[in-house]
Amino acid sequence: MSTQTGPAAAGADLAQLALDFHHTHQLLDPAAQGVQEWQVRITAAGTPVGSLTAVRGLYWKSDNLRERMADEQSFPALVAAQLLDEDGRFTYEFEEFIESASSVLVVDRLHVEEAFADPVVVAGVVASVIDRLTDNYFAVVLPAKNACTDAGSALLAEAGTLLSAQEFSDELQIIDNALAAPEEAAQRVRSRLRSLARHGQPAAWNEDDDEDGWDEDGEEDELTARTAAVLRVALEELSAQIWQDVADVGDASVGRGEGRVLGSLPPITFHQDQQWRRQMARCFDDLAAELAETHAVRPLCTGEEMALHLGIDRAKSLTRNRPRLVAETVEGLGEDRRDFDWDWCSTVLFEDHDVLMLFDASLDGIEDTGNEINQALGLANLAAADWFVPFRPSQARDPDRGFRHS
């Protein structure tokens, strides 16, 4: 099966895709207790572009799940015949095949317009359906090669491969939600789908990639206006928090997780004095000011690198958890398919990620210039005392710029 994104999907407006779930439950219908049929409508900018059916087979709520699913006919009936015996119990073969499952989700009857008829797009849809309709005790069933009767079932089969489904038979493949591999595969699919939506071209699939399973050579190296705006808000928020920490803590030591920001820094900073912490707080202010003025940002010292890492993490959290705030922040700014690609920011906005090694307890002492690993890797400016030394003196910030708070 192919995992290459087709040209149609590459040109479609994937950023506008949404799912609409519909299920009608009859309160007093006994047949509704064991099987739920969900109609999932796929839309792009509010316009329907496809649909699929997801049947939830709830073992403990059904009198005889095999009979009940067989009554649905078509693919659910095939699933029932292979996974359940005549008494409605899961077969020995199925129970040996999976880690733990008390229910099944059968995904079937996919119809999608040609522009979105791509295995990566469909895998992203299926992953979202799984998130919405299952938990760790579900086995998700998709058609395998010998059950592909149309283009939709063939796409579902390819989507299953991308989501680490395992072939149970020539006709069925199963995603075991109790395992970690399917969730890791779903993250790779989502990352590739985001890349496709933002950059308009497919990225080479690589399941061994430690980052996110794709390569994005040749991408633009400038922040979009909306990305810069949200990153600035994140840095300003962190600035307010760390300045409050400075006022509350003073010269006292902190521990992991204490305070708002100080406890999120590497352990080598926990015993620094108030003057050091004021300089750290100024790093957030300097980066936010640079974004406000130029819509670009480059960390000029180790402290600014750390501040930018925390800023990107906070910006990512804002886009996930504060959609109203984000909408207000970017109002009036032009949309770009590369908006809010925080993984890209983490890759491109830094010369290296050496400062993050300070979080690794197994590398204790790596900030010391006499440390063997430090010397072997040619590390510089990792000791807390050196965090505010400019990487390049010619690019240093104005030493007379002062502090936000006296």
**Strand 172-176 with 103-112, pairing:** unpaired
Say if pTM beats, i.e. exceeds, 0.85: no
Q: CA 303, CA 242: separation in Å to the nearest integer?
A: 13
Chain-centroid distance of CA 392 in Å reads 35
Other beta carbons within 10 angstroms of residue 99's beta carbon come to: 12
Are 11 and 196 a contacting pair, CB within 8 Å? no
Fold of 7-199: Aminopeptidase (3.40.630)
Q: CA 115, CA 179: separation in Å to the nearest integer?
A: 33
Residue with token string 């733990």: 100
Of the candidates 133, 403, 177, the one whose C-alpha atom is nearest the C-alpha of residue 277 is 403
Of the candidates 404, 176, 367, the one whose C-alpha atom is nearest the C-alpha of residue 280 is 404
Residues 52-80 pLDDT 10s: 999 999 888 777 889 988 887 789 999 99
Coil, strand or helix: which one is 136?
A: coil
- What is the structure's pLDDT at 71? 83
User: Could you tell me the residue ranges of all domains in the chain?
Assistant: 7-199, 225-395
Residues 118-130 pLDDT 10s: 999 999 999 999 9
- What is the structure's pLDDT at 13? 76
C-alpha distances in Å from residue 210, one per residue of 214, 217, 219: 10, 16, 19
Q: CA 289, CA 296: separation in Å to the nearest integer?
A: 10
Residue with token string 């939709």: 152
Tokens of 207: 């399941």
* Dihedral sign for Cα atoms in the order 168, 122, 186, 162: positive
Residues 276-302 pLDDT 10s: 999 999 999 999 999 999 999 999 999
End-to-end CA distance of the chain: give it in Å, rounded: 64
- Region of 52 on the Ramachandran plot (φ > 0 left; ψ -120 to 50 alpha; else beta): beta
Torsion of CA 76, 79, 81, 83, to 10 degrees: -140
- What is the structure's pLDDT at 199? 65
Q: Which residues, listed in sequence order, are joined to residue 42 by a DSSP beta bridge? A: 19, 50
- What is the structure's pLDDT at 218? 42
pLDDT band at residue 343 under the 50/70/90 scheme: confident
Of the candidates 341, 344, 267, the one whose C-alpha atom is nearest the C-alpha of residue 306 is 267
Count of residues making up the chain: 406
Coil, strand or helix: which one is 307?
A: helix
Query: Strands of 17-22's sheet, edge to edge?
Result: 17-22, 35-44, 47-58, 103-112, 138-143, 172-176, 166-167
Torsion of CA 241, 246, 247, 253, to 10 degrees: 120
- What is the structure's pLDDT at 72? 74
Residue range 128-134: mean pLDDT, rounded: 96
Q: Which residues, listed in sequence order, are joined to residue 41 by a DSSP beta bridge? A: 20, 51
pLDDT band at residue 173 under the 50/70/90 scheme: very high
Tokens of 267: 């352990």
